[in-house]
Chains A and B, each alone.
Chain A
Amino acid sequence: MTNLVDVKNLKKNYSSKEAVKNISFSIKENEILGLLGPNGSGKTTTIGMLLGLLKPTSGEIKIDNMFFEKNRIEILSKINFISPYIELPKKLTVKQNLIVYGKLYNIQNLQDRIEYLTEKLRLEDLLNRITGELSSGQKNRASLAKALINKPKVLFLDEPTASLDPEIGDFVRSFLENYKQENKISILLASHNMSEVSRLCKSVLMMKNGIIVDAGTPEFLIDKHGRKNLEEVFLKLSRGNNESN
């Protein structure tokens, strides 16, 4: 399988701090890669660079075989992002938001695309409602529709089920699994929900203090660190007593 995302020796320095220190990884086609790490470990900075919001201090990012800095606009048309920390314009209806973003991504047959996402994400009753008046779960589905409006080849998810109740969280996870399977997209999932990561991700990167401290399948990491589950591995690595390193 080919790599859709290739990151080599990526580094980001702020004036007095090294936020990301020389990390390298790749995401294969039709793969969900988990990105775990405590707060301040460099996950957001890494995702920021992959989205073009941050310029790397050094290193390179290739997405769909194109270097990011030289092909920023073309790459941005092939990726998308969802995070509970960013929202769609609150005063527009869900449909208006999808139309706006469909235009920004220059989507052909936009009406068909909106109908497809409406059906898949059960948005029928929400389309004509004001986005700001929706519940967290409804907003999440609307944001997910926006994130998929351009049929992204790579989807970046930052805690996509944070603040959702278990039923909606499960719906989102099932939807992502099915959507990935049907469309062969690659996903980078940053999450603090270990059961979510265990369920969705074939492989996981563990970050701490700007470096990747471990990587592998959830099962491999659990075995390697002699723990019962991924949450215990996370706690072990983030507390610093990484016996295997």
Chain B
Amino acid sequence: MNLIRIYGLFLRHFYLITRSFPRVLDLIYWPTIQITLWGFISNFFATYSTYYNNAVGIILTCAILYDFLFRTSIGFNMLFLEEIWSRNFTNLFISPMRISEIITSLVGTALIRALIGLVPAILLTSPLFGISILNLGINLFFLFLSLYIFGITLGILVSAGLLRFGPSFENIAWSTMFLIAPFGCVYYPVDILPNVFQKIAYSMPLVYVFEEARRILVDQTVNTRNIYFAFILNVVYLTVAISLFYYSFNQARKKGTLINIGE
């Protein structure tokens, strides 16, 4: 064993971490997010152990909805990252594709990717657990639509970051979904969050979607205001995300990131 060589390899990775803020952030927030998310879940079940009569059904339904959001967002990012990994990025951006065409194409492809994963999951829950997400009825369509739009929005935001900051932003791409999960109130009602976190949660469409899913499953009632609020917020976030993508593209052309990513 040669300590100098061991130290050399340590340095190789240490330099990498210290030269990239997204990597440092990545190291910090994974444990933080995991502890926060599971802390709220545990807190909820400890306080409201009788809240759900059909706990498995509700949790599984919310898990499927969340997975759809996750797949949509990650799917969008994956498509973008795929071009970077295959060193095809330059070829794409020197082709006569408008930014709007790139976004539209990736949005459609991300939907197909998400559905490929979603359909088997829905089909499996019925024979394995006797649960059907279709119990949400026609509102299921609106809930999925909201999640799809928000997933795409997150995908566009992360891709804008990749355009602007280059591949070092990749770690953020993987973890955005986990970063917002505690505020999405996927597995517990929004009331369980501290007041400050509730304000953040209500500023995102997710809380309205998951609150509505639980309302339908637990109370068998529909509050169209939740669906409406989710839609309005989605439109706002999507507009901001697309604008940011255009801004990042222009900045990347100014700063030279497109060339650095491409090679």
Which residues of A come within 8 Å of B, CB atoms?
Answer: 14, 44-45, 48, 51-55, 73-74, 76-77, 79-81, 83, 85-91, 101, 104-106, 146
Contacts and interface: CB of A to CB of B under 8 A. Distances in A.
B254 interface: yes
Contacts of B86: 87-91
A48 B259 CA distance: 7
Contacts of A14: 255-256
Given A55-B250, A86-B263, A81 B94 contact: yes
A86 B96 contact: no
Which of A53, A54, A80, A88 is most buried by chain B, counting CB atoms within 10 A of its CB? A53
B87 A87 contact: yes
A183 B82 CA distance: 34
B253 A54 contact: yes
B15 to A, nearest CB: 22
B169 to A, nearest CB: 18
Given A14-B255, A44-B259, A85 B87 contact: yes
A146 B250 contact: no
Interface string B87-100: 11111111111100
Given A44-B259, A54-B258, A55-B253, A88 B88 contact: yes
B166 interface: no
Nearest to B102: A104
Given A54-B259, A79-B94, A104-B96, 9 more contacts: A51-B94, A53-B90, A54-B256, A55-B254, A74-B96, A80-B94, A86-B89, A89-B88, A90-B86
8 contacts: A48-B259, A53-B258, A73-B96, A73-B97, A74-B96, A76-B96, A101-B91, A101-B95
Contact of B96 (A48, A90, A105, A146): A105
A95 to B, nearest CB: 16
A209 B259 CA distance: 19
Given A87-B87, A87-B88, A89-B88, A104 B263 contact: no
A231 B223 CA distance: 77
Contacts of B255: 14
B261 to A, nearest CB: 10
Nearest to B93: A53
B22 interface: no
A88 B253 contact: no
Contacts of B258: 48, 53-54
Which of A52, A54, A88, A101 is most buried by chain B, counting CB atoms within 10 A of its CB? A54
Interface string B62-94: 000000000000000000001100111111111
B262 interface: yes
A86 B91 contact: yes
